Chain A
């Protein structure tokens, strides 16, 4: 009997009943895809074939944010509409009495919901191709790319739709479904932010990624953390997806996604659909109308949400009041309040808001334990200082040097811990006082004078490695660093540029120099005085510079060289220094941001920096001169008269994607300055558009 129920007929019937959803999506996608393409084409008076392709690139195909956001939103809406039967006892009585397994009914509904998207979406994608064809652009590549983009769009939809279906199955009401979708979307990043916030505020000495080497476990940790943030929910994965980040090949109208992306978005909805089917099997019919479908999840979810909320409040109160007693009060109050709110959402009855008191007790215990662990540094992270006799080696490095370090295989070392490992020295007596000062400073917070931010590695004789970040007196650091730099081998390790030979210089793609405007003008004046013909070329070059090639560097983040890395550092939580610096009020000396030092340099009073590129030959001369100057100097690059920087861009692939080294320039690097002046006089320098 039952086997005669036609899956196809039932699906079509269900789809017909969702006609409103199909119509809504048809309308939305018409606006987002063909109309968005048609409008600029129709409004443009003279359209050339090339510009039509540009318009196509901008409006249809891969990685169109508006389209992707619409797809994600429709996935959620469809799931809420299609699977709403799971939240209604009346409808479950009807559907579950039919001669169908629950999984079969779910698949019928799932397919019908998918059809409400696929049909209008594909129709509008086809319309977009038709619009292009009407304007004279029709090629197999365009069609192929649109077909691929359509496939990816469908996969995005299925991912969003399936994930939202999981949320619907886990809940018993539409309201809690919506809340569950929101929670699932941002929960992990929010928790991660709270943990990072606690680390940065309460454990400032903890070097981000500060886990010891455990046979590569920490690399796994780094990878998993990034994966967790970028792949913390299906919706974030979709929105974070970009063909630029994947291995791509250029199509006529844009980029092609790699096979890995497609496979990922094939596997993800399939896995979540399988999860839905499993949930269908175990989900009780009587879950309809309840906040959560599975009673055992109530306490767990309540605690998982209330604890981070309480910790967040604790951090906020610390920032405002800095009183342990008040912080404990607020953490406890908001932990309990979180539980009460959740209980109210569960029961929708204020009289039962205090039910399940043990949930509140567990939340309070966990919240206070975690908060006090951070707040009082119960693990002794900030005050950790091994005995000198326990140490086999140490290393020290100022944060955020922009030049790269390389491992034995010549690959760039990106992580601070790896770099510190490369800089290890057994001269513990020189570095240990810096660590002592750092530990003292974090306890006393009584700063007097200039301070620098340092990263320190302890390698104990036991083999254990510990990493810390300290704020240390600047003079103490300079003294130690000068002593360390007397060791030529150490200096070469510290400044990799000193090891560059001709073979390596062959790999340079481009060199550009960033100097204060006043210094360039001084070069121009010196060259004019040396020249009898008045250096007409240089004069016109100056005019060009002042016409529009000047770049004003206001903040570190504005700098195109560092912005990418800075962003990474911020992600790693390494921006805590900015806060500690503002506390000490020692911007120029203590923050490690070389850019802020420029503002105090002799020739950069205006704060206007100008970028110039060098010819290949001049660039090599510059590096050779720089190597000599650096080798003969005291080895301190960041504190003494830094005037600007030279950036060396490597040929693609060598250090990709971080293929730029930046070294600071000093006014007392006479050979370097001379090479620059000569190159400027020779007219072998060209403008560098620093606006990126």
Chain B
């Protein structure tokens, strides 16, 4: 478990993190989202032991991470500005990772690099941005560390590769203690990967919750009712966050228990009714509104 306790980090006059506290449980895929400059990279760098916070601390399994090799050894950090040695190939990096990450799985790396159709002997400087990100992710996965911090790592991956990486993460989660933390400025990039999400804004964490928990309290439904009067009654009876009507099709995002919402709609004897899966964006709208923020202006 990673405990971020009251962390403050300043760069000169700029406060990048302002008393941030959060907890990342083991075994989840944690998404860290926020706008550019929200402090995502800084938080990951502090958590990885790269930066020393002015205040607060980050503990990995109860051990402070700053200058503590044992705690840092449990983390593999893939920075947004991923760096490889000059003239290095995937094999060169593999050899280095094998030294600095004693649990590094060479055989798995060789296998995966083949599956991803990457030439292990070719210079990485000749790879595309996306290919370099693939190598970085494979190195991080094969480092076999308990925690993997990925800063904007998925932003350059195409949907196929993202799906492949997602599968790899799922596999890792099944096979060993593995907790990836993925930072991104786009909800859409990580919504199909993460099960826990934290939202950073202006150096502070707005919230960090389980996606499923958030989904339990908010629902999106589409229905066709018999009259406009029914529609007005339904809208007034539900805690509506958002609604839209196209023709006779009414779409509503409402807060509340699934059963209660369904019952309210059924009372109006709809001609058509179904509950739809919510996007991460829609969930965030509601949650940040609760926190008092107009999130639409922040991240979309």
A interface residues (Cβ-Cβ under 8 A, vs B): 1-6, 9-10, 13, 17, 88-94, 96-102, 104, 284-286, 295
Contact = CB atoms under 8 A, between A and B. Distances in A.
A90 B79 contact: yes
B259 to A, nearest CB: 47
Contacts of B101: 99
Interface of B: 11-12, 45, 48-52, 67, 69-70, 72-77, 79, 81-83, 85, 95-96, 99-103, 149
A9 to B, nearest CB: 5
A425 B105 CA distance: 91
A94 B96 CA distance: 12
Contact of A99 (B79, B81, B100, B149): B100
Given A2-B72, A6-B99, A93-B50, A102 B67 contact: yes
Contacts of A93: 45, 50, 77, 79, 81, 83
B258 to A, nearest CB: 43
Contacts of B82: 90
A582 to B, nearest CB: 55
Please indicate which of the listed interface residues A10, A91, A285, A286 has the most CB atoms of chain B within 10 Å of its own CB: A286
Q: Which of B50, B72, B100, B149 has the most CB of A within 10 A?
A: B100
A102 B50 CA distance: 10
Nearest to A92: B50
Contact of A97 (B49, B52, B85, B103): B49
A295 B103 CA distance: 39
Nearest to B86: A17
A13 B99 CA distance: 9
A135 to B, nearest CB: 42
A484 to B, nearest CB: 70
A92 B77 CA distance: 12
A4 to B, nearest CB: 4
Contacts of A102: 67
B101 to A, nearest CB: 8
A97 B99 contact: no
A285 B16 CA distance: 15
A97 B72 contact: yes
A27 to B, nearest CB: 20
Given A2-B70, A93-B50, A13 B79 contact: no
Contact of B70 (A1, A90, A96, A104): A1
A292 to B, nearest CB: 13
Select the residue from A3, A9, A93, A104 with max chain B CB neighbours within 10 A.
Answer: A93
15 contacts: A1-B69, A5-B102, A90-B79, A92-B50, A93-B50, A93-B77, A94-B79, A96-B49, A97-B48, A97-B75, A99-B74, A100-B100, A284-B52, A285-B52, A295-B12
A101 B67 contact: yes
Contact of B102 (A4, A284, A286, A295): A4
A2 B101 CA distance: 8
Nearest to A85: B83
A78 B75 CA distance: 31
Contact of A286 (B51, B73, B103): B51
A142 B79 CA distance: 55
A17 B89 CA distance: 13
Contacts of A92: 50
A295 to B, nearest CB: 8
A243 B73 CA distance: 50
B74 A10 contact: no
Nearest to A6: B99
A144 B85 CA distance: 41
B50 A285 contact: yes
Q: Which 8 A-B pairs have the closest CB atoms?
A: A99-B73, A2-B69, A1-B73, A2-B73, A97-B77, A90-B83, A93-B79, A4-B102
Nearest to A282: B52
Contacts of A100: 69, 72, 100
Nearest to B70: A2
Nearest to B97: A98
Contacts of A89: 81
B50 A99 contact: no
Given A3-B70, A99-B74, A102-B67, 8 more contacts: A2-B73, A5-B102, A93-B83, A96-B49, A98-B72, A99-B72, A100-B100, A101-B67
Contacts of A3: 69-70
Contacts of B95: 13
A2 to B, nearest CB: 3
A620 to B, nearest CB: 77
A552 B19 CA distance: 83
A96 B50 contact: yes
Nearest to A284: B52
A246 to B, nearest CB: 43
A18 to B, nearest CB: 11
Contacts of A91: 83
A98 B79 CA distance: 12
Most buried by B among A17, A98, A284, A285: A98
A284 B83 CA distance: 20
Contacts of B12: 295
A140 B186 CA distance: 73
A5 B100 contact: yes
Contact of A98 (B11, B52, B83, B100): B100
A83 to B, nearest CB: 16
A97 B71 CA distance: 10
Contacts of B149: 97
A17 B77 contact: no
Given A99-B100, A101-B67, A1 B49 contact: no
Contact of A94 (B75, B83, B99): B83
A3 B69 CA distance: 8
Nearest to A102: B67
Nearest to A286: B11
A248 to B, nearest CB: 46
Contacts of A17: 85
B124 to A, nearest CB: 13
A272 to B, nearest CB: 22
Contacts of A101: 67, 69
Contacts of A94: 79, 83
B91 to A, nearest CB: 13
A92 B12 CA distance: 19
A129 to B, nearest CB: 36
A284 B9 CA distance: 12
B19 to A, nearest CB: 19
Nearest to B87: A17
A6 B95 CA distance: 13
Contacts of B103: 1
Contacts of B81: 89-90, 93
A347 to B, nearest CB: 12
A284 B12 CA distance: 12
A9 B97 CA distance: 12
Contacts of B75: 97
Nearest to A9: B99
Contacts of B48: 96-97
Contacts of A99: 69-70, 72-74, 100-101
A95 to B, nearest CB: 9
Contacts of A13: 95-96, 99
Contacts of A104: 69
A10 B99 contact: yes
A285 B73 contact: no
Given A5-B102, A90-B79, A97 B73 contact: no
Contacts of A88: 83
A1 B102 contact: yes
Given A93-B45, A97-B48, A99-B70, A5 B83 contact: no
A3 B75 CA distance: 14
Contacts of B83: 88, 90-91, 93-94
A293 B49 CA distance: 19
A284 B53 CA distance: 10
A10 B97 CA distance: 10
Contacts of B52: 284-285
